[in-house]
Amino acid sequence: MQNKASQKRGGGGIYKYHNSLISHESRLAHQTHLPFCAPSRLFYPRSPAPAAGLSMISRLGYSPCHGVHRGGAEHRRHRGCPYGCEFCSVTGFFGDSIRFRSNKSVVDELLMLKARAKKEGGEIAVFFVDDNFAINIKRTKSLLKDIIAADAQLPWVAQISANLLRDEELVDLIADAGGKWIFIGMESIDTENLASVNKGFNKPNEYTAVLQRLAQRNLYAITSFIFGMDNDTVGVADRTLGQVQNWPPGLPVFGLLTPLPATPLYGRLLKEGRLTRPKHWFDFAPFEMAHTPLKMGIGEAQDEVKHAWTASYSPKRNQAAIDSISDQPIQFRIGHLIARFFFRGIYFPLMGKRDWFNTVFQNRKLIFQLTSEALGLWWRKKDSSINVTVKPSRTQEITEAPQVHLYSIENSKTAESTELDVA
């Protein structure tokens, strides 16, 4: 049974439960269903949106990686995944069956958010926090069709594994239903690495096609990579960057292979005697390894990650990324640059005015270029005697930058259990 003494609140709505770190919601699920420790099928939080105006959502703040923070509690929700990647805590923690909300429930919530945005003159973006939004392709297509039919589109972000994005119809529907950014766990460009962590369903030779398929529909990717896998050697960062830089511009993120407690990876490394910090979660240190990689040193793996972050968000790389989408509306390009600043901040935190000043100064040429173009468009728009001409497929007039609110929605959970329909 649960030992109350073992529950200790950590930062950001994370709690210690026995030897694991769990979110606020998961803790409640544990408390409801002990001793089985399975997530509750009964507990489903009511949406706060009917009571919370957009200004409140804005005030609560958001993180692209962790969804909206409501009342200080983190609301990233895990709902299970059948894939069972060795390093991932989702399958072990939530099981390999998935529960779905009804399409109507999700569509109604989107419509309500859309109505609030219209009423309050703001804009809102949604983060579908499902661990793998399209894990059941048939259901996902059905949901997206219902969103389109109900005219419930809002800009949204979701996490989808690369193998599911082979489906052209799915990608068409994602774009038509308001999808903007897709988080993809690429993990590695090395097939041996992927096989070693039970993620052989990722095919590196498909990555380029997947990202181009998205970009053709104005969808862009947050691509996630893990260094320090068993087949990684010094130079893994440059080898990975060599590929990333040929892809449509996205937001790459890099981390180290981390043996999370109770994952198969943790068990394997423990058995092999390779854990260097067996209780690393009690001494959280971002971007520090907790085990020894096979073909490189711990320090070398950490240096590779630092190099990947530095090179991916350098002023030169930012310029190249923005130049490669020069056919996009200026508002989109400015948004992309701002997103790049924030993503760089994952590794190099922007903690104060000095950090921001340095970032702006280092990117001054690009900022000046975009600002000049925006002001020029604004001026021409103001002067009604001059028409602004843009390509018909990308027609979007420059407008005052809207205040965008990010809201998290989960597609799966409660109500009904269903057979998986995994492509």
Closest CA to 198 of 224, 230, 167: 230
CB of 83 to ligand SF4, least distance (A): 4
Shortest distance, CB of residue 89 to ligand SF4, whole angstroms? 8
Whichever of 13 and 80 has its CB closer to ligand SF4, that residue is: 80
Which of 15, 17, 62, 83 binds ligand SF4 (CB under 6 A)? It is: 83
Tell me how far CA of residue 392 lies from CA of 185, 228, 331, 335, 336, in angstroms: 34, 46, 16, 21, 21
Which residue stretch of 1-9, 77-85, 142-150, 369-377 sits at the interface with ligand SF4 (rule: CB under 6 A)? 77-85
- Please, what is the minimum distance in Å from the beta carbon of residue 67 to ligand SF4? 15
Contact positions with ligand SF4 (CB under 6 A) in 129-148: 131-132
Closer residue to ligand SF4 in complex, CB, 263/359 = 263
**What binding mask, one character per residue, do residues 158-197 give for ligand SF4 by CB under 6 A, x or -?**
---x-----------------------x------------
Complex with ligand SF4: residue 82 or 278, whichever CB lies closer:
82
- Among residues 26, 91, 258, 408, which is the contact residue for ligand SF4, using CB under 6 A? 91
Which residue in the set 85, 154, 182, 367 belongs to the binding site for ligand SF4 (CB under 6 A)?
A: 85
Q: Which region, judged by CB under 6 A, interacts with ligand SF4, from 58-66, 78-86, 261-269, 320-328?
A: 78-86
Nearer to ligand SF4, 22 or 81 (CB): 81
Q: Does 156 bind ligand SF4 (CB under 6 A)?
A: no
Residues that bind ligand SF4 (CB under 6 A): 81, 83-85, 88, 90-91, 131-132, 161, 185
